[in-house]
């Protein structure tokens, strides 16, 4: 992470040194004012970064450290010990009697010997109650497509600060939420990028009657507060289920969809079933003729994805960028016999990678961050995103601040990584498109 | 298509040229179709999930919204949160619509005068078109089936009207109507195919071929229509009159709807006032001869005023509205006490309406003291008096709680407006005919006087009606819940429903007086403005001074009437209070965040831009990080930083300055009070509520917001700074301008578009802000950080009251719209574009 930042910075600095006018000497002239400015800026930067650092250190701390108000963790970062599952259920007394106390408990041997209560606990219970940072981690490898060829099942005891992450990931269901969010984000990004590029291109390059009016209507949606559209959208998502289960089956013969399903969907369904992917994304019933189509949106991915398949912000950003592409390119492409779609795909998209990356990052953040909408349309953990998971965890975690912070770090890392990797294109995108005019 | 190609053949005789034009057109159409295809996916999603919900949500806000009884309730959801303010806003909207309609008409009229055309024939088709559009959208929104023919008929009629009007034009007209008629006809044909086509095919049993034909026909019509749609220009007579018709009809419908809603929401209160305050309910219950009743005296018993009444030889003790006397009306007690003590003559209206007199002295000459009892016969006098005239005011009892029906008052109000217009018109005509026709001149004068007198009386009637409402409301407000329940039960024979509270009825009775007073206030201020402008035409200093004085007086009067408004909101009960608190918190949040983060962002950006050569992008990355990080995660961190216990980071940081641990996000106390207590060591309560500042909880959220957005602002400012040409600075440096002067005179003005953009975005952002506040508030019961968005979400999510939530959301939407407009207006002159 850190190395990425530095590498990115170095290249940028190099570019700027080259870009500076030759008569001005690059580098630092140390007048007192400049030193003062650097001090102020650095102090500001420390203030800006502090909550992040504090989040990481807290997530690695023991409960006691947090209460005592330490800033840095006192415990080791990580120690992984393989363990038999049976050992977890042996009491501490057994370990003491056999003389093989686990190595990570040697420091507290005296305490365990002194306390009757502690001696009667099993290893699992002891590690849990003492909150010394423990996670039992089992490695399962199974390949469902190949009918479970082999399975490895091994327990590990992880002790130290990193164990909080394992605990949050496994036991507080963060793994489930995390991958839900990833799936939703990927679907949203793919869909939204396609619609936005097409629409932005049309607004920037194609003349059609009413384009200005349509574009201002799009822009007007920015002023509409989320709360206004939240309620009817929930109703709509709720009622689409009714449409697919009541109105649609009644009319699909009339609309000729039954034939279409028999002709097209059935073979697809057979093929998918052969591969074992017949219920990917819950679309299984769409590809079959037996019975009515059931396509629930509520508490499933369409509710989380479909309303966000178009974004005014992305369209606006991309349009601003596309407008700057010189007209000559289009003329040249035209002479070569390219149509709009071909020009868009071969020329415009490669040129505007920075802007597209910017919109992708913003879309990703938006999806990753969405809280009110998932709260309204999901009822089970099946599709609940990570923002929901973290929000629910803020009340469940109680005093386990370290676990909460570990959850926050887990939530934060993908976004931060994406940002740091793409930050040059990102700032370029913001600077060139966001604010001209 | 045929007509157009015919015309083009006329203009271009050679076939090759014609082919060229046709090819060009075909290419243009293909281009347009590509464009539509490209925007189609985004448009579908945006319309379905971005724009349609606004319409659907508004419809939703007019319904009760609960899953079981999702019935239409009109404006009830809005009056729950805003009280009579809703009606005021709606009437104001009507006025704005009328104004816009007038402006649209006036510009078209001026144009027609210039070119010697005649606008009048267009007016009726315009009204028809407006009616058609309204009917069409109504049918679309409510989903009523089977009435689609009505707007179609109207459209066809309007188109015919437009065509005729075009023919009537002296110079053959603009020729637009023909084109418009064709286009609209095409649209109507599309609609006809859409609705009627399937039915025809099914009736005739055409099967697959029929469907195919229908689709082909539809596509062909669409293909023909699309390029035409783009050619409709507004600003023509057709557009102007259609707009005028639409706005006028909208204003009328809205006004009627508002009046109807107001009548409905106040009907119950008015009825109850009549029932409860009407003395006739007691008639015939007791029959007491005059002479057998005597007032004996007054006694105090544990704070209550007791009156002894002798009826038919039996002495009965009755408390005089003990609840009220226990509280505040000491002067009344004192007066009564004095009266009784000095044996003055006291009149008592007995339950049957007869007067009873007691001997009292000491009351000022000519004043009568009415002590009517509303009781259930003589027996109840002993038990408890429901209320006395002293509690609710004599006037209410004398009028029997009667109030005037709203529709009469609306007639009167319309009459006043029409009368005023007539007076103005007569004055204008009179000025023109001056000497030519002395007879008409005199008639006009007398007519003016007559109409003026009528207007005056109607106005008096309106004031009186408002007064009646106000009295009834005051009486209702004076009743305690128990008194009200007793009176209700006695009057109607059924126990009072628990949700019926006198405060709510009082608020409902006050709707009309408040709307009336605000309307009159606004009219007075408008008049003051006119008088003020007229003052410049006065020649003598005395006349000038008098006119100015009149304007100021009108202004003050108007302002006093309008200042009734805040009281409206106080009356509205708990829900209004909550909504207003939430809105106030949102405003505080906005005011606390936006200026600070803008200044901080500009400061950082300026330092970065002007002084830093090395590590600029590192700083930029760092400053941008809080903005880019998921707000749920970062607000969770701040939730932990601002924990209540002494070991939290925020408390330890304060501990360095020797300030005791605070409760941060759970602290409802204002920050200035806390500062006064913790730092200056004073008594926090010596700082009044109005100066206590935002609560510490809200301040914590503000701090979080500043942390997130200053960096973003800095990066955007940085981009703005980069766009300022270097030469300006160099020139200024040559001229010897210092650092500050360069900043003040070059950077700030040239940066103003960025500043404007950012401030607009930030203000709207703070009003829309949700997820971080929702995380930071926790799941506690306190509402210290519940801004409007959170309040709306809680109404929807926790209280499951979608209708009310939608109404609140639209109120917020209105506030955001007004803010945006105001900000746009205020900053327009300050912003310097290039």
B672: CATH:
1.10.3720.10
Within a domain: residue B595? yes
Indicate the SS3 state at residue B88. Answer: helix
Does A114 lie in the same domain as A64? no
Name the residue facing A368 among B35, B614, B630 (closest C-beta). B630
A411–B764 CB contact, under 8 Å: no
> What is the pLDDT confidence band of residue B634, given thresholds at 50, 70 and 90?
very high
The two structure tokens encoding residue A79: 């120690």
The range of the structural domain enclosing residue A25 comes to 2-68
The two structure tokens encoding residue A433: 């498109």
pLDDT at position A36 over 90: no
| Pairwise CA distance, residues A421 & A409, whole Å | 17
Domain count, chain A: 3
B637–A45 CB contact, under 8 Å: no
A27–B613 CB contact, under 8 Å: yes
Residue B72 per-residue DSSP state: B
H or E stretch including B64? none
> What is the pLDDT confidence band of residue B159, given thresholds at 50, 70 and 90?
confident
- Sheet of strand A153-159, all strands in order from the earlier edge strand to the far edge: A79-83, A153-159, A134-140
Name the residue facing B630 among A196, A228, A415 (closest C-beta). A415
The two structure tokens encoding residue A288: 């079959």
What CATH number did the domain enclosing A313 receive?
Answer: 1.10.3720.10
pLDDT at position B602 over 80: yes
For the ranges A105-114, B287-296, B575-584, B802-811, the one whose mean pLDDT is highest? B802-811
Residue A367's DSSP bridge partners are none
Strand B314-319 relative to strand B346-349, pairing = unpaired
Mutate to test the interface with B, among A64, A230, A243 (most CBs of B within 10 A): A230
Residues of A in contact with B24 (CB under 8 A): none
Does B751 lie in the same domain as B627? yes
For position A172, what pLDDT does the model report? 72
For position B406, what pLDDT does the model report? 82
| Pairwise CA distance, residues A235 & B67, whole Å | 11
Within a domain: residue B344? yes
Residue B49 CA, chain-centre distance (Å), reads 25
Tokens 């009817």 sit at which residue? A232
Domain count, chain B: 4
A249 CB burial (10 A radius; 0-12, 13-18, 19+): middle
Within a domain: residue A262? no
Does A7 lie in the same domain as A110? no
For position B290, what pLDDT does the model report? 35
Is B503 or B337 the better-scoring residue by pLDDT?
B503
- Mean pLDDT, residues B411-434: 85
Strand B294-301 relative to strand B304-311, pairing = antiparallel
Mutate to test the interface with A, among B228, B613, B654, B761 (most CBs of A within 10 A): B613
Within a domain: residue A247? yes
For position A286, what pLDDT does the model report? 61
Question: Which pLDDT tens digit goes with each residue over B669-685?
Answer: 888 888 888 777 777 77
Among A357-371, A412-426, B381-395, B605-619, the least confident range: B381-395
pLDDT at position B7 over 80: no
Does B333 lie in the same domain as B199? no
Does A231 lie in the same domain as A85? no
Largest CA distance in chain A: 89
Residues of B in contact with A9 (CB under 8 A): 615, 617-618, 621
Q: How many CB atoms lie within 10 A of CB B428?
A: 10
Q: Which residues contact A40 (CB under 8 A, 6 or more apart)?
A: B607
Does A347 lie in the same domain as A245? yes
Does A186 lie in the same domain as A88? no
Q: Which of B397, B426, B447 is the last residue of a domain?
A: B397
Residues of A in contact with B716 (CB under 8 A): 430, 434-435
Question: Which pLDDT tens digit goes with each residue over A208-228?
Answer: 877 888 898 898 888 788 889
Nearest to residue B375, comparing CAs of B364, B390, B363, B387?
B387
Within a domain: residue B287? yes
Does B174 lie in the same domain as B45? no
For position A30, what pLDDT does the model report? 66
What helix, strand, coil percent values describe chain B, rounded to 5?
75, 5, 20
| SS3 letters across chain A | CHHHHHHHHHHHHHHHHHHCCCCCCCCCCCCHHHHHHHHHHHHHHHHHHHHHHHHHHHHHCCHHHHHHCCCCCCCCCCEEEEECHHHHCCEHHHHHHHCCCCHHHHHHHHHHHHCHHHHHCEHHHHHHHHCCCEEEEEEECCCHHHCCCCCCEEEEEEECCHHHHHHHHHHCCHHHHHHHHHHHHHHHHHHHHHHHHHHHHHHHHCCCCCHHHHHHHHHHHHHCCHHHHHHHHHHHHHHHHHHHHHHHHHHCCCCCHHHHHHHHHHHHHHHHHHHCCCCHHHCHHHHCCCCCCCCCCCCCHHHHHHHHCCCHHHHHHHHHHHHCCCHHHHHHHHHCCCCHHHHHHHHHHHHCHHHHHHHHHHHHHHHHHCCHHHHHHCCCCCCCCHHHHHHHHHHHCCCCHHHHHHHHHHHHHHHHHHHHHHHHHHHHHHHHHHCCC
Nearest to residue A379, comparing CAs of A283, A269, A290, A298?
A298
Name the residue facing A198 among B42, B49, B808 (closest C-beta). B42
For position A182, what pLDDT does the model report? 92
Average pLDDT, chain A: 76
Q: Which residues contact A12 (CB under 8 A, 6 or more apart)?
A: A424, B617
Within a domain: residue A275? no
First to last CA, chain B: 46
Does A352 lie in the same domain as A426? yes
- Mean pLDDT, residues A321-345: 86
Name the residue facing A221 among B50, B613, B616 (closest C-beta). B50
Q: Does A417 touch chain B (CB under 8 A)?
A: no
Does B168 lie in the same domain as B312? no
pLDDT at position A201 over 90: yes
Q: Does A43 touch chain B (CB under 8 A)?
A: no
Does B711 lie in the same domain as B601? yes
Mutate to test the interface with A, among B630, B708, B713, B765 (most CBs of A within 10 A): B630
Distance from the Cα of B430 to chain A's closest Cα (Å) equals 48
Tokens 């965890």 sit at which residue? A393
| Pairwise CA distance, residues B816 & B833, whole Å | 25
Nearest CA in chain B to A46: B622
Q: Which of B366, B397, B428 is the last residue of a domain?
A: B397
Nearest CA in chain B to A217: B51
Q: Is the dihedral of CA A248, A252, A255, A259 positive or negative?
A: positive
- Mean pLDDT, residues A357-369: 89
Does B55 lie in the same domain as B96? no
| Pairwise CA distance, residues B157 & B135, whole Å | 14
| Pairwise CA distance, residues A59 & A169, whole Å | 13
Q: Which of B208, B243, B267 is the last residue of a domain?
A: B267
Cβ distance B644 to A39 under 8 Å?
no
| DSSP output for B440-483 | HHHHHHHHHHHHHHHHHHHHHHHHHHHHHHHHHHHHHHHS-HHH
Does B53 lie in the same domain as B162? no
Does B704 lie in the same domain as B670? yes
Mutate to test the interface with B, among A33, A192, A232 (most CBs of B within 10 A): A232
Within a domain: residue A285? no
The two structure tokens encoding residue B39: 């925007």
Residues of A in contact with B624 (CB under 8 A): 419, 423, 427
Does A320 lie in the same domain as A385? yes
Within a domain: residue A219? yes
pLDDT at position B599 over 90: yes
Does A52 lie in the same domain as A100? no
Tokens 């759970």 sit at which residue? B666
Residue A136's DSSP bridge partners are A157
Cβ distance B772 to B704 under 8 Å?
yes
A230–B796 CB contact, under 8 Å: yes
Among A11-25, A255-269, B306-320, the least confident range: A11-25
Does A186 lie in the same domain as A149? no
Percent of chain A scoring above 90 in pLDDT = 12
Does A123 lie in the same domain as A24? no
Residue B496 per-residue DSSP state: P
pLDDT at position A105 over 80: no
Count of residues making up chain A: 437
Q: Which residues contact A47 (CB under 8 A, 6 or more apart)?
A: B707
Is B49 or A249 the better-scoring residue by pLDDT?
B49
- Mean pLDDT, residues B371-393: 44
- Mean pLDDT, residues B7-32: 64
Tokens 């690059």 sit at which residue? A26
Within a domain: residue A43? yes
Indicate the SS3 state at residue B71. Answer: coil
For the ranges A140-149, A315-324, B217-226, the one whose mean pLDDT is highest? A315-324
Does B105 lie in the same domain as B54? no
Residue B69 per-residue DSSP state: -
H or E stretch including B297? strand B294-301
Does A393 lie in the same domain as A341? yes
For position A3, what pLDDT does the model report? 36
Nearest CA in chain A to B791: A227
Within a domain: residue A89? yes
* Selected residues 53-112 of chain A with any CB under 8 Å from a CB in chain B: 54-55, 58, 66-69
Does B55 lie in the same domain as B97? no
Does B249 lie in the same domain as B205? yes
A408–B636 CB contact, under 8 Å: yes
The range of the structural domain enclosing residue B701 comes to 591-785
The two structure tokens encoding residue B489: 């039960």
Q: Which of A44, A68, A92 is the last residue of a domain?
A: A68
Tokens 């990584």 sit at which residue? A417
| Pairwise CA distance, residues B136 & B126, whole Å | 15
The two structure tokens encoding residue A437: 């005019």
Question: Which pLDDT tens digit goes with each residue over B776-814?
Answer: 887 666 778 889 999 999 888 888 888 889 999 999 999
Within a domain: residue B554? no
> What is the pLDDT confidence band of residue B596, given thresholds at 50, 70 and 90?
very high
Does B305 lie in the same domain as B236? no
Does A367 lie in the same domain as A335? yes
Nearest to residue B670, comparing CAs of B654, B684, B658?
B684
The two structure tokens encoding residue B114: 């210039």
Residue A47 CA, chain-centre distance (Å), reads 26
Name the residue facing B45 among A26, A38, A310 (closest C-beta). A310
Within a domain: residue A341? yes
Within a domain: residue B40? yes
> What is the pLDDT confidence band of residue B749, given thresholds at 50, 70 and 90?
confident
């Amino acid at each position: 992470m850190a190395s990425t930042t530095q590498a990115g910075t170095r290249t940028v600095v190099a570019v700027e040194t080259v870009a500076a006018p030759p008569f001005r000497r690059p580098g630092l002239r140390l007048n007192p004012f400049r030193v003062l400015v650097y001090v102020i800026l650095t102090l500001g930067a420390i203030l800006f970064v502090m909550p992040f650092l504090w989040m990481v250190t807290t997530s690695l701390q023991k409960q006691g450290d947090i209460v005592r108000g330490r800033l840095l963790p006192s415990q080791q970062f990580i120690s992984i010990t393989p363990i038999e599952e049976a050992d977890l259920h042996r009491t501490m007394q057994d370990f003491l009697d056999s003389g093989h106390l686990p190595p990570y408990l040697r420091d507290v041997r005296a305490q365990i010997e002194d306390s009757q209560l502690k001696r009667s606990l099993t290893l699992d219970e002891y590690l849990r109650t003492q909150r010394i940072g423990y996670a039992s981690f089992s490695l399962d490898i199974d390949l469902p497509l190949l009918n479970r060829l082999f399975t490895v099942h091994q327990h590990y005891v992880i002790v130290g600060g990193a164990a909080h992450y394992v605990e949050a990931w496994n036991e507080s269901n963060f793994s489930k939420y995390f991958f839900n969010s990833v799936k939703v984000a990927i679907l949203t990004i793919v869909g939204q990028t396609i619609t936005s590029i097409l629409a932005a291109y049309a607004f920037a390059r194609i003349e059609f009657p009413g384009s200005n009016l349509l574009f201002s209507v799009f822009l007007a949606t920015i002023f509409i507060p989320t709360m206004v559209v939240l309620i009817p959208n929930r109703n709509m998502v709720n009622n689409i289920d009714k449409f697919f289960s009541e109105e649609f089956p009644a009319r699909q013969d009339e609309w000729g969809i039954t034939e279409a399903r028999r002709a097209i969907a059935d073979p697809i369904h057979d093929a998918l079933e052969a591969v074992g992917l017949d219920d990917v994304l819950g679309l299984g019933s769409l590809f079959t003729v037996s019975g009515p189509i059931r396509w629930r949106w509520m508490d499933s991915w369409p509710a989380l994805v479909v309303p966000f398949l178009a974004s005014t912000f992305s369209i606006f950003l991309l349009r601003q960028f596309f407008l700057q592409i010189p007209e000559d390119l289009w003329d040249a492409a035209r002479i070569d016999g390219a149509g709009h779609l071909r020009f868009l795909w071969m020329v415009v998209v490669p040129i505007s990678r920075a802007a597209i990356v910017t919109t992708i990052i913003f879309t990703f953040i938006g999806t990753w961050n969405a809280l009110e909408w998932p709260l309204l349309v999901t009822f089970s953990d099946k599709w609940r995103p990570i923002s929901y998971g973290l929000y629910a965890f803020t009340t469940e975690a109680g005093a386990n601040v370290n676990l909460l912070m570990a959850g926050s770090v887990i939530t934060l890392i993908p976004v931060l990584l994406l940002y740091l990797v793409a930050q040059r294109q990102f700032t370029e995108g913001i600077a060139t498109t966001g604010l001209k005019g | 298509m045929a007509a157009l190609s015919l015309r083009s053949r006329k203009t271009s005789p050679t076939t090759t040229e014609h082919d060229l034009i046709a090819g060009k057109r075909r290419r243009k159409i293909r281009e347009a179709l590509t464009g539509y295809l490209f925007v189609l996916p985004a448009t579908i999603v945006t319309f379905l999930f971005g724009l349609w919900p606004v319409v659907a949500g508004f419809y939703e806000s007019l319904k009760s919204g609960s899953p079981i009884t999702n019935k239409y309730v009109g404006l009830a959801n809005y009056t729950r949160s805003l009280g009579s303010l809703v009606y005021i806003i709606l009437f104001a909207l009507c006025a704005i619509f009328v104004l816009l309609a007038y402006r649209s008409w006036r510009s078209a009229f001026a144009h027609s005068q210039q070119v010697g055309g005649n606008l009048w024939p267009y007016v009726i088709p315009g009204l028809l078109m407006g009616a058609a559009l309204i009917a069409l959208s109504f049918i679309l929104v409510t989903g009523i089936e089977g009435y689609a023919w009505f707007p179609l008929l109207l459209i066809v009629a309007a188109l015919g009207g437009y065509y005729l009007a075009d023919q009537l034009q002296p110079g053959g007209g603009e020729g637009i109507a023909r084109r418009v008629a064709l286009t609209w006809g095409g649209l109507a044909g599309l609609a006809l195919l859409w609705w009627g086509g399937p039915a025809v095919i099914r009736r005739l049993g055409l099967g697959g071929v029929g469907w195919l034909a229908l689709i082909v026909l539809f596509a062909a019509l669409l293909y023909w229509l699309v390029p035409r749609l783009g050619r409709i220009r507004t600003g023509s007579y057709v557009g102007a009159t259609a707009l005028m018709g639409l706005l006028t009809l909208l204003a009328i419908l809205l006004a009627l709807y508002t009046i109807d809603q107001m009548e409905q929401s106040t009907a119950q209160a008015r009825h109850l006032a009549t029932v409860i305050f009407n003395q006739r309910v007691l008639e015939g219950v007791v029959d007491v001869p005059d002479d057998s009743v005597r007032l004996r005296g007054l006694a105090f018993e544990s704070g209550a005023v007791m009156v002894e009444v002798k009826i038919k030889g039996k002495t009965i003790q009755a408390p005089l509205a003990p609840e009220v006397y226990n509280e505040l009306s000491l002067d009344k007690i004192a007066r009564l006490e004095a009266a009784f003590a000095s044996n003055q003559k006291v009149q008592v209206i007995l339950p049957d309406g007869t007067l009873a007199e007691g001997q009292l002295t000491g009351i000022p000459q000519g004043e009568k003291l009415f002590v009517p009892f509303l009781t259930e016969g003589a027996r109840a006098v002993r038990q408890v008096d429901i209320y006395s005239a002293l509690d609710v005011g004599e006037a209410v009892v004398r009028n029997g709680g009667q109030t005037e029906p709203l529709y009469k008052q609306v007639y009167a109000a319309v009459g006043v407006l029409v009368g005023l217009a007539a007076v103005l018109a007569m004055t204008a005509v009179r000025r023109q005919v001056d000497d030519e026709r002395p007879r008409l001149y005199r008639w006009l004068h007398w007519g003016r006087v007559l109409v003026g007198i009528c207007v005056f009386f109607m106005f008096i009637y309106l004031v009186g009606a408002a007064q009646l409402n106000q009295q009834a409301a005051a009486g209702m407000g004076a009743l305690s819940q128990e008194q009200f329940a007793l009176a209700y039960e006695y009057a109607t024979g059924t126990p009072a429903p628990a949700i019926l509270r006198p405060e709510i009825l009082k608020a409902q009775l006050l709707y009309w007086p408040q709307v009336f007073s605000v309307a009159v206030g606004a009219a007075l201020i408008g008049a003051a403005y006119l008088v003020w402008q007229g003052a410049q035409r006065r020649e003598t200093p005395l006349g000038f001074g008098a006119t100015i004085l009149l304007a100021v007086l009108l202004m003050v009067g108007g302002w006093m009437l309008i200042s009734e408004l805040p009281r409206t909101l106080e009356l509205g009960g708990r829900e209004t209070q909550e909504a207003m608190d939430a809105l106030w918190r949102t405003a505080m949040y906005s005011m606390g965040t936006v200026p600070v983060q803008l200044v901080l962002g500009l400061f950082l950006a300026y330092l970065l831009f002007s002084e830093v050569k090395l590590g600029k992008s590192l700083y930029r990355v760092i400053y941008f990080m809080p903005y880019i990080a998921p707000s749920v995660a970062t607000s969770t961190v701040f939730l932990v930083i601002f924990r209540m216990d002494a070991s939290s980071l925020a408390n330890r940081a304060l501990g360095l300055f020797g300030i005791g641990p605070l409760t941060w996000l759970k602290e409802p106390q204002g920050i200035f009070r806390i500062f006064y207590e913790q730092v200056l060591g004073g008594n926090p309560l010596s700082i009044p509520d109005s100066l206590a500042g935002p609560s510490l909880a809200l301040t914590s959220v503000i701090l979080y917001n500043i942390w997130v957005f200053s960096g973003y602002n800095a990066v955007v400012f940085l981009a703005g700074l980069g766009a300022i040409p270097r030469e300006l600075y160099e020139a200024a440096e040559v001229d010897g301008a210092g650092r500050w002067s360069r900043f003040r005179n070059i950077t700030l003005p040239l940066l103003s578009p960025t500043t404007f953009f950012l401030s607009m975005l930030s203000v709207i952002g703070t009003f829309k802000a949700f997820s971080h506040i929702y995380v930071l508030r926790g799941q506690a019961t306190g509402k210290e950080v519940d801004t409007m968005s959170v309040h709306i979400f809680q109404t929807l999510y926790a209280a499951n009251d979608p209708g009310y939530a939608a109404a609140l959301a639209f109120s917020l939407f209105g506030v955001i719209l007004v803010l945006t407009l105001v900000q746009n207006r205020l900053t327009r002159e300050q912003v310097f574009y290039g």
